[in-house]
Chains A and B, each alone.
Chain A
């Protein structure tokens, strides 16, 4: 395997505290080493005048799985005039814009200098599908989070306060689906959607199961910390996307008070609140809709056990998709476009609706501002992560544009003042008054160091620490001579000068030039034997599932290049 010495680059590594000083980075056998450990055969990459960061780590993106694929299937128009022609060195064609093909997903992330993506929602019943798509997504390592916030086992265990049983079941499920973390989407509300209903506050009881979303969230935090999982619960709360929902969001976040993380993976949070932008709305209708990012961040800044990602609206035509079934139904009644829905037995649901975030639509502009405000009001970028909830608020290929907006007030203002209703947007938001411009060091926190830490994967990604995966992104940006035109920032982050994945050059000058195997990372928790849970699992499969138990767990042959993280709570 080739050895590399990346010389004279301006290195940004928040874990090692390197803030743009010139350093040499060495890679041997696919991992970072001390430069002195290289042999004479090492090749040199000249990074002088360039920005060098560890490979990007995306904490929340819908890239593989059944609802993503319905999004591809039922939107042929998403391919029309929006797919680039195949490049000579690409192994495969690249199709699609807001919901790209698996190949395009891998290539696009790689071109942006990313090497890892956490799939945001895996319906457990569909885990073989998720892993098939992971196999076909090149160049990026993946984890996938099974969706648990509406699972019947969980509802029953938590209703009875049986944390140990819920934990044993969760461990079984992570093993069965080769999953990574506990994803919670609209707790209780998606089960209610089985009857066309919803739970819009944390105190609305779930039909039949008679448990509240608040009880579910607290129970799952306790389950998560009992299992000592690398990641915290990954929460999409109730009442997403509605004016005035910020009070529900603060109520939800307050549930974390009194809990602290219990694991060996270095995270500080017990809730990761995903796509916080969709949960930070004021007003009581679309007419007086306004930003409550400041109020939300006043709370979040005070709490040390919370992390979040942004979910910035990028003002594109995109495809919304979420396990929040009732929300997608609500959305189709707003925009009257086509609507797909998949309710998944005993587990979850999903809805998919195309959506156009119009540049001249006031509400969309306010949403755009809220996403950025959350980042700009946050006093610890390690806890604030750049996402678009791909593809919900916009496609992930817009991350470079978000970085530009965060780094340049001029670029924000230019867009803000070009809106048709800019005065109204300014009146409903704080963005015009914010002068903050984020630094490259802070961007490195928000896109790799902070995300890796929150995921509990900082022993694998997010830094140049010796022994970590040799994932590197080199951007054509000179920190000592930053371009006066903010567009150059977007361009540099969109087309990396180099991306190295596990010590292999896969992108050069923004083009795919190489290939290397990718991995599927999952968590195996050893728990004490639990005969009751074993019996409950057998019984539910016998009576309620439409597939047999032994066909539900992923077969070994359908798991591709696995890397397992072992956790033993019996020790």
Chain B
């Protein structure tokens, strides 16, 4: 009898759907079916059962080919690399569990490494805005139960967080929102006519890179200075700005969900800062919240774990070994790599090969590089060592943090390929080996 496992968390995006149902084979080794999951999530579950999974660490040979080696050898190589390096960088973590982040932090502290996560090239600008202006937010269930107005700004959940609209923000019926989508106004602000914009009540086609001005216009209206606004701001007509501002002011409860369109267009953290200021202004008269549409299913995790361990969410320079230091621009991964300050690199739970600028990758490649990932990716193909690990959320259980900082306990549905270990165990063993080497 095939077995159905319920309440499974999905290891794809920051919406962290936890209602997935997975049908596994009699022997518990293969995934046969997945339900309640988007197309992308389904692929991740199915991927686990592929025949061509990497089952042993692979070490680069002088002729450029990869050769299978034991975990012991791979751990020894990594530990020696960390002990020898002056400024190793451990980067990634968007796609693993918090237990692994905690173990990796212990390794990084011992190695005197720089510890960074994908926020560095993603929502790091949101952190900068939070440092300056705070973060009036809520859990996703609050939006579901209370919100009569929702704004998607510079984010496109229809593609990036496929079930976000149906589970939390646009369609669901909640306690005070019994009419579901019929009782909710959805406003999308995006230079493109996205699929999210297509299903929204209002689409504001902001001029690309001019979000800051549009926020400013809304703030002026909310604060009673609508007379001073020009006829067109950031490509949006004044009457439409007034109309949307009126909707915002009259909302009983609103949430702004923003994405990369704010974080990585001109203005970056200043855009987010202004979005937060608008939220604060609206809270003078009604209730508004704001939330970053975090990308990977546990990219919120490292920001949480390292904040309680070191007080900083990302860009942690631990090289002094007696205190942590954070200064994005100085201690951020890309900047360090571009200045060629990194003399060893571990890529874990992400693909720096695909996401870093080529100049940064070229500098990193001059030094030893290890990729820790269940699958073959661009980073694994240019590394000196690729260590396969179990897929968190499929083969490994653990805690992940949803985009609203709610911890979700992920389950294991099948065993990893025989002999393959978890990220957490791997880092614990690297730590042990470093202790032996330094003894």
Where the two chains meet, the residues of A that have a C-beta atom closer than 8 Å to any C-beta of B are 64, 66, 68-70, 72-76, 78-79, 83, 85-86, 92-93, 95-96, 99-103, 125-126, 128-129, 132-133, 136, 152, 193-196, 208, 329, 332-333, 337-346, 349, 352-353, 543-548, 550-551, 554-555, 557-558
Decide: B406 and A126 in contact? CB cutoff 8 A: yes
Residues A340 and B134 in contact in the complex (CB < 8 Å), given A126-B406, A128-B407, A136-B102:
yes
Chain B residues with Cβ under 8 A from A95's Cβ? 310-312, 323-324
How far, in Å, is A339 (CB) from chain B's closest CB?
4
Decide: A344 and B18 in contact? CB cutoff 8 A: no
Interface residues of B in 88-135 (CB under 8 A from A): 98, 102, 106, 109, 127, 130-135
Interface residues of B in 269-302 (CB under 8 A from A): 280, 283-287, 289
Centre residue among B19, B167, B399 by max chain A CB count within 10 A: B399
User: Roughly how many angstroms separate A86 CA and B145 CA in the complex, as a whole number?
Assistant: 46
Sample 11 A-B pairs with CB under 8 A, ordered by A number.
A74-B135, A102-B308, A132-B407, A133-B308, A136-B309, A208-B176, A341-B135, A342-B138, A345-B142, A544-B144, A548-B6
How far, in Å, is B434 (CB) from chain A's closest CB?
14
Decide: A343 and B407 in contact? CB cutoff 8 A: no
Residues A132 and B286 in contact in the complex (CB < 8 Å), given A95-B310, A95-B323, A344-B142:
no
Chain A residues with Cβ under 8 A from B134's Cβ? 74, 332, 337-341, 352-353
Beta-carbon nearest neighbor of B321 in chain A: A86
Residues A343 and B142 in contact in the complex (CB < 8 Å), given A79-B311, A196-B287, A551-B9:
yes
Beta-carbon nearest neighbor of B397 in chain A: A557
Where the two chains meet, the residues of B that have a C-beta atom closer than 8 Å to any C-beta of A are 6-7, 9, 18-19, 98, 102, 106, 109, 127, 130-142, 144-146, 167-168, 173-176, 252-253, 280, 283-287, 289, 303-305, 307-313, 318, 321-324, 326, 397, 399, 401, 405-409
Residues A83 and B323 in contact in the complex (CB < 8 Å), given A95-B311, A129-B304, A555-B409:
yes
Decide: A341 and B407 in contact? CB cutoff 8 A: no
Beyond A86-B323, A132-B407, A349-B138, 5 additional contacts (C-beta under 8 Å) are A103-B309, A132-B308, A333-B284, A343-B138, A547-B18
User: Roughly how many angstroms separate A132 CA and B406 CA in the complex, as a whole number?
Assistant: 13
Which residue of the partner chain, among A64, A101, A340, contacts B136 with CB atoms under 8 Å? A340
Chain B residues with Cβ under 8 A from A64's Cβ? 308
Residues A547 and B303 in contact in the complex (CB < 8 Å), given A74-B135, A93-B310:
no
Residues A128 and B287 in contact in the complex (CB < 8 Å), given A95-B310, A340-B130, A340-B135:
no
Give the top 9 A-B pairs by smallest Cβ distance, nearest first.
Answer: A345-B141, A338-B134, A546-B141, A196-B287, A343-B138, A86-B322, A128-B407, A339-B134, A341-B136
Chain B residues with Cβ under 8 A from A74's Cβ? 130-131, 134-135
Centre residue among A75, A103, A341, A346 by max chain B CB count within 10 A: A341
Chain A residues with Cβ under 8 A from B397's Cβ? 555, 557
Decide: B137 and A342 in contact? CB cutoff 8 A: yes
Chain A residues with Cβ under 8 A from B106's Cβ? 92
Decide: B324 and A342 in contact? CB cutoff 8 A: no
How far, in Å, is B399 (CB) from chain A's closest CB?
5
How far, in Å, is A259 (CB) from chain B's closest CB?
32
Which residue of the partner chain, among A73, A346, A551, contacts B18 with CB atoms under 8 Å? A551
Centre residue among B283, B286, B304, B406 by max chain A CB count within 10 A: B406
User: Roughly how many angstroms separate A360 CA and B141 CA in the complex, as a whole number?
Assistant: 44
Decide: B139 and A329 in contact? CB cutoff 8 A: no
Beta-carbon nearest neighbor of B286 in chain A: A196
User: Roughly how many angstroms separate A53 CA and B311 CA in the complex, as a whole number?
Assistant: 33
Chain B residues with Cβ under 8 A from A78's Cβ? 311
Which residue of the partner chain, among B137, B304, B310, B405, contacts A101 with CB atoms under 8 Å? B310
Chain B residues with Cβ under 8 A from A126's Cβ? 405-407
Chain A residues with Cβ under 8 A from B173's Cβ? 543
How far, in Å, is B72 (CB) from chain A's closest CB?
26
Residues A132 and B138 in contact in the complex (CB < 8 Å), given A72-B308, A126-B407, A329-B283:
no
Chain A residues with Cβ under 8 A from B140's Cβ? 345, 546
Chain A residues with Cβ under 8 A from B109's Cβ? 92-93
Chain A residues with Cβ under 8 A from B310's Cβ? 93, 95, 101
User: Roughly how many angstroms separate A192 CA and B9 CA in the complex, as a whole number?
Assistant: 32
User: Roughly how many angstroms separate A352 CA and B19 CA in the complex, as a whole number?
Assistant: 32
Decide: A341 and B138 in contact? CB cutoff 8 A: yes
User: Roughly how many angstroms separate A352 CA and B130 CA in the complex, as a whole number?
Assistant: 12
Centre residue among B127, B132, B303, B324 by max chain A CB count within 10 A: B324
How far, in Å, is A348 (CB) from chain B's closest CB?
10
Which residue of the partner chain, among B102, B141, B253, B409, contacts A346 with CB atoms under 8 Å? B141
User: Roughly how many angstroms separate A86 CA and B397 CA in the complex, as a whole number?
Assistant: 33
Decide: A69 and B139 in contact? CB cutoff 8 A: no
User: Roughly how many angstroms separate A133 CA and B308 CA in the complex, as a whole number?
Assistant: 7
Residues A73 and B313 in contact in the complex (CB < 8 Å), given A128-B409, A195-B287, A208-B176:
yes
Decide: B399 and A79 in contact? CB cutoff 8 A: no
User: Roughly how many angstroms separate A346 CA and B143 CA in the complex, as a whole number?
Assistant: 11
Chain A residues with Cβ under 8 A from B307's Cβ? 69, 72-73
Decide: A545 and B141 in contact? CB cutoff 8 A: yes
Residues A73 and B130 in contact in the complex (CB < 8 Å), given A83-B323, A93-B322, A340-B136:
yes
Decide: A194 and B406 in contact? CB cutoff 8 A: no
Decide: B7 and A548 in contact? CB cutoff 8 A: yes
Beta-carbon nearest neighbor of B399 in chain A: A128
Residues A345 and B321 in contact in the complex (CB < 8 Å), given A93-B109, A102-B309, A551-B409:
no
Beta-carbon nearest neighbor of B327 in chain A: A76
Which residue of the partner chain, among B98, B175, B399, contacts A152 with CB atoms under 8 Å? B175
Decide: A194 and B287 in contact? CB cutoff 8 A: yes
Decide: B409 and A194 in contact? CB cutoff 8 A: no
User: Roughly how many angstroms separate A64 CA and B307 CA in the complex, as a whole number?
Assistant: 11
Beta-carbon nearest neighbor of A130 in chain B: B407
How far, in Å, is A354 (CB) from chain B's closest CB?
9
Beta-carbon nearest neighbor of B400 in chain A: A128
User: Roughly how many angstroms separate A399 CA and B134 CA in the complex, as a whole number?
Assistant: 29
Residues A101 and B7 in contact in the complex (CB < 8 Å), given A194-B253, A546-B140:
no
Chain A residues with Cβ under 8 A from B6's Cβ? 548, 550
Chain A residues with Cβ under 8 A from B135's Cβ? 70, 74, 340-341
Decide: A548 and B19 in contact? CB cutoff 8 A: yes
How far, in Å, is B7 (CB) from chain A's closest CB?
5
Which residue of the partner chain, among B127, B130, B139, B407, contacts A344 with CB atoms under 8 Å? B139
Chain B residues with Cβ under 8 A from A337's Cβ? 134
Decide: A92 and B309 in contact? CB cutoff 8 A: yes
Which residue of the partner chain, among B130, B289, B399, contacts A132 with CB atoms under 8 Å? B399
Chain A residues with Cβ under 8 A from B401's Cβ? 129
User: Roughly how many angstroms separate A208 CA and B253 CA in the complex, as a whole number?
Assistant: 15
How far, in Å, is A87 (CB) from chain B's closest CB?
9
Decide: A85 and B136 in contact? CB cutoff 8 A: no
Beta-carbon nearest neighbor of A550 in chain B: B7
Chain A residues with Cβ under 8 A from B168's Cβ? 546
Which residue of the partner chain, among A72, A341, A548, contacts B137 with CB atoms under 8 Å? A341
How far, in Å, is B248 (CB) from chain A's closest CB?
13
Beta-carbon nearest neighbor of B312 in chain A: A76
Chain A residues with Cβ under 8 A from B311's Cβ? 72-73, 76, 78-79, 83, 95-96, 99-101
Beta-carbon nearest neighbor of A68 in chain B: B308
Decide: B136 and A345 in contact? CB cutoff 8 A: no
User: Roughly how many angstroms separate A416 CA and B324 CA in the complex, as a whole number?
Assistant: 37
Which residue of the partner chain, among A86, A546, A555, contacts B167 with CB atoms under 8 Å? A546
Chain B residues with Cβ under 8 A from A339's Cβ? 133-134, 136, 280
Decide: B283 and A340 in contact? CB cutoff 8 A: no
Beta-carbon nearest neighbor of A92 in chain B: B109
Chain B residues with Cβ under 8 A from A193's Cβ? 287
How far, in Å, is A555 (CB) from chain B's closest CB?
5
Chain B residues with Cβ under 8 A from A548's Cβ? 6-7, 18-19
Beta-carbon nearest neighbor of B173 in chain A: A543
How far, in Å, is A309 (CB) from chain B's closest CB?
24
How far, in Å, is A74 (CB) from chain B's closest CB?
5
User: Roughly how many angstroms separate A93 CA and B112 CA in the complex, as a whole number?
Assistant: 12
Decide: A85 and B322 in contact? CB cutoff 8 A: yes
Decide: A79 and B324 in contact? CB cutoff 8 A: yes
Decide: B139 and A343 in contact? CB cutoff 8 A: yes
